[in-house]
Amino acid sequence: MASTQYGIKYAVHIITAHFGNLVAKVCETLLRRGPLTLRLLIRFTELSSSQINNSLLILIQHNCVQAFTAVTEGEFGDAPKADTQYLALFSNILHRMRFSKFLAIASEKLEKDKDCEELLEGLLQNGRLSMEQIIERAKSSKHAGNRPIPDVVNESLLKLLNAHFVERCPAPEPTLSPQVEEQPPPRKRGAKAAKVSEVPPTLEQRLVESARPMEVIRFSIGETNTEAEESEHYSSISGQKRKRGDLDMIQESGDADGIILWRANFDEFIRCLRHKACIEHVRSQFDDGAVNVLSAILEATRSSEKIVKTEITVPLSLENIYEEVMKNEVGRSMTLDRVEASLSALGCSGMEDYKINLQKIIEQAQIDEVESIVLKRYGRDAYRMFRFLSKTGGLVETEKISDSAFVDKNEAPKILYRLWKDEYLYMEKVAITVPRYSLCLLWRVDRYNLWEHVLDEMYHASLNLQLRQAYEMEQDKELLNLPPDKRGGPLEKRYNRLRNVRILLESSLLKLDDALMLFHDF
Amino acid sequence: MSRSQGPSSLKRKRPEPAHGHGGALIEHEKVLYDLICSKQSMGIWIGDMKRETKYPDNVVTKSLKALQARGLIKLVEHYQNKGKKFYLSKDFEPSKELTGGNWYSDGKLDREYISTLKGFCARMIQKMKVATIEGIVDAFKKSGASKVDLSREQIEEIVNALVLDNEVMEVKSTGAGEFDFIPVGKICYKSYAKGVKGEPKTGAMASTPCGVCPRINHCTPNGIISPRTCVYYTKWLEF
Ligand code: SF4
């Protein structure tokens, strides 16, 4: 889904908070206008070229911008033109709000390995680091034990690479072929979500894909020497095999001295968070048995997942699943019958091997989130009508809606109108001429547009949470600077309030961010 | 559970002869009466009568008075548009379009009655674990809970409302396990497991002030309505 108006505002707010106004201005220009050359960036931002260069360096260092060579056909028989453009990576900017979640996942999966945690934290804070830099950081840390630091670092990096939590940085400047221009975002969702994979990828997706090192290299620590090998590192999906010349460009623009840069692999963390979201949703609907079974299946099929948005898990036999369930302490009390019953509750027929439709679970979680907004904001009558329309799928006239959803006919039109005005429903007017001229209103839940609207509201709400937090902290600034022993009496009360405010705002922001991922990343 | 009058909007009563109420109708009255009868349970609005017959106002008013006095026609107010009067032949009950339908009384949705029925159905489904609509109708009849006979359609409407409320689940029978003896693919109704309420737990968005805010479309970072000055926030952050 493309970034929305408030999505951009929120992203710019994040960049401003982390890197200041100048960098944010460059980033905002890229987000609003799409990929630009340095020349155009200068024109649009009216900043000096060195200011822009520095900003771009920061943004690239932190994986928020990707450079690429755009080749355009030469006009009037001229040779093809190649120029460097910069594209802001919207998703990566938002990931900056999730670093604490990423660290928690890595810590959990790597059994609290302190060295790994530190290495990963360094990468998250600095964007990209070379081996040498990582070792430098480790040396200055207090954790250094008796073993030689390079060994420790090497071991940690290997562990992180094996878990796919860290990867090699993408090619600094891949080439994109001219034929395929950016496609408009897909216009259908929901019922047609199954076809999402057939939708042509966006420019951002194509670029990320073609800059990414090939799987074998991406997670391997070994140095690569030969040029021939190097040329295979970067796969290209733009339909053209990369030519020699492009490779030179890669070499020149960063990798020239053969230094490998490492960074956190956001995809892997998002995949883990997606699994968590699926499990949480199942927990809200079914009993522990279903939760255990789903966790086991996700664990067993993880290694075969190649993309973030796996639609359906690879098929497993009942024996495989049972075995996996038994590996887990909480699952050990389950009988084979119970595992089978849980699978059937999860919608597996059991006719053949078992597979879980993860996309369906995510969709249901999205629906729950939206319905909960409708219930809280517009009330129970609206909730029932919304669910009725959601279930029906098509256009339905006012009368039929109020009849089926048991909403008073005098009230129904008013509520439907409110939902329409706030872009929660789609409405169509149809003129009827028999028996006499009148206007009939038809209503529908337009899933694709509604999801985008809800996502925009969520970005808006996230931004508001942050702005309010900044405001609250600013209001009581002097309170925060007070040493603890001076906080007695009435000040103490104010101080405690401020602490509670902060906790509430921060935890709400983290939860809202989970919902954001549900709609944007999963 | 009782209700003075059963829902029977379309039931036709025994027709009474038009004469025998003090002589034959005069010409105008006859035309108007036929017109009203032809509309059956839909009735007709006085404005439309004037348009269709092209009679002067006073003739229509006088004739209608006469017909009413003889007990041949009756007046019904439209449920949505109080004061818009419709005339019906005595032989017809007003249609759904005029009264609002089965579940309306005095032009308003009878919420209390509906919620009693809903509660009753929900309890029955919970007791039955997995229920088909036939099962629910049967149990309903046997219980004698309602003095008024509800049709299968009406009970189905109530159950569907429970589904929309997310109080019961609609599931398809798989023919096995708890669906034993129920044909595969048949729609069944089930209560949610204990402790799990069907209704979505308040989502992340709906737990923040902005998630339920009616003004979100007018709220901007530096506008008149803004998160800095927002009263909803101030209230939320009271500790
Ligand atoms: S900040 Fe306040 S006014 Fe603005 S959207 Fe949120 S709740 Fe509404």
Could you tell me the residue ranges of all domains in chain B? 18-102, 111-191, 204-239
* Domain B111-191, CATH: 1.10.10
**Residue B206 touches chain A, beta carbons under 8 Å:** yes
**What's the pLDDT score for residue A178?**
61
**What's the pLDDT score for residue A457?**
95
Which residues 329-388 of A are in CB contact (within 8 Å) with B?
341, 344, 349, 368-369, 371-373, 375-377, 380, 383-384, 387-388
Residues with CB under 6 A from ligand 1: A 464; B 209-210, 213, 215-216, 219, 225, 227, 230, 232-233
Question: Rounded mean pLDDT of B24-32?
Answer: 83
Residue A416: partners with Cβ closer than 8 Å, 6 or more residues away: A385, A398, A401, A425, A427, A441, A443
**Cβ-defined contact of A373 to B212 (cutoff 8 Å):** yes
Residue B191, SS3? strand
pLDDT(A26) > 90: yes
**What's the pLDDT score for residue B119?**
87
B18-102 and B111-191, same CATH topology: yes
What is the residue with the minimal CA distance to atom 7 of ligand 1? B210
Length of chain A: 522
Which residues 29-88 of B are in CB contact (within 8 Å) with A?
79-80
For chain B, give the longest Cα–Cα distance: 82
**How far is the C-alpha of B35 from the C-alpha of A499, rounded, in Å?**
76
- Full strand arrangement of the beta sheet holding A396-397: A396-397, A438-444, A426-432
**What's the pLDDT score for residue B186?**
86
Q: What is the pLDDT of residues B145-182, one digit of tens each?
A: 666 777 888 888 889 999 998 888 888 877 766 777 78
**Cβ-defined contact of A512 to B205 (cutoff 8 Å):** yes
pLDDT(B19) > 60: no
Give the atom of ligand 1 at the shortest distance from the alpha carbon of B216: 5
- B/e letters for A187-198, b = 16+ CB within 10 Å, e = fewer, are eebbeebeeeee
Which of A461-470, B133-142, B197-206 is most confident?
A461-470
Give the atom of ligand 1 at the shortest distance from the alpha carbon of B215: 8
Which residues 87-126 of B are in CB contact (within 8 Å) with A?
100-101, 103-104, 108-109, 111, 114
**DSSP letter (8 states) at residue A257:** G
Specify the fold of A5-96+170-264: Arc Repressor Mutant, subunit A (1.10.10)
A188-192, A207-211, A311-315, B109-113: least confidently modelled range: A188-192
Q: Residue B47's pLDDT band (boundaries 50, 70, 90)? A: confident
**How far is the C-alpha of B231 from the C-alpha of B233, rounded, in Å?**
5
- Full strand arrangement of the beta sheet holding B168-172: B130-131, B187-191, B168-172
Q: What is the pLDDT of residues A364-373, one digit of tens each?
A: 999 999 999 9
**How far is the C-alpha of A65 from the C-alpha of A50, rounded, in Å?**
17
B218 CA distance to ligand 1 centroid (A)? 9
**Residue A397 touches chain B, beta carbons under 8 Å:** no
Question: Rounded mean pLDDT of A131-137?
Answer: 90
Specify the fold of B18-102: Arc Repressor Mutant, subunit A (1.10.10)
Question: Rounded mean pLDDT of A433-440?
Answer: 79
pLDDT(B99) > 80: no
**What's the pLDDT score for residue B20?**
44
B201 CA distance to ligand 1 centroid (A)? 22
What single letter denotes the amino acid at residue B29?
E
The number of C-alpha atoms within 13 Å of A253 and in the hemisphere containing its C-beta is 20
Residue A469, SS3? helix
**What's the pLDDT score for residue A354?**
84
A5-96+170-264 and A378-445, same CATH topology: yes
Q: What is the pLDDT of residues A276-317, one digit of tens each?
A: 999 999 888 888 888 888 988 888 888 777 788 888 888 888
∠ CA A191-A194-A200, nearest 5°, is 115
Choose among A62, A2, A1: nearest CA to A27. A62
Q: Residue A483's pLDDT band (boundaries 50, 70, 90)? A: confident
Question: Rounded mean pLDDT of A133-152?
Answer: 79
Choose among A169, A170, A166, A168: nearest CA to A109. A166
**What's the pLDDT score for residue A232?**
44
Q: Residue A254's pLDDT band (boundaries 50, 70, 90)? A: very low
* Domain A378-445, CATH: 1.10.10.10
Domain ranges of chain A: 5-96+170-264, 268-356, 378-445, 449-520
**What's the pLDDT score for residue B198?**
59
Q: Name the residue with tokens 């508001």.
A: A464
**What's the pLDDT score for residue A257?**
58
Using a CB-CB distance cutoff of 8 angstroms, which residues of chain A are in contact with residue B207? 508, 511
* Domain A268-356, CATH: 1.10.10.10
Q: What is the pLDDT of residues A86-113, one digit of tens each?
A: 999 999 999 999 999 999 999 998 988 8
Nearest-CB residue to B237 (from A344, A410, A504): A504
**What's the pLDDT score for residue B145?**
67
Token reading at A313 = 């898990």
Give the atom of ligand 1 at the shortest distance from the alpha carbon of A464: 1
**Residue A409 touches chain B, beta carbons under 8 Å:** yes
Q: Residue A351's pLDDT band (boundaries 50, 70, 90)? A: low
Q: Residue A50's pLDDT band (boundaries 50, 70, 90)? A: very high
**What's the pLDDT score for residue B153?**
86
**What's the pLDDT score for residue A363?**
93
Mean pLDDT of chain A: 84
CA distances from A10 to A5, A108, A243, B26, B161 (A): 9, 29, 39, 78, 40
pLDDT(B92) > 90: no
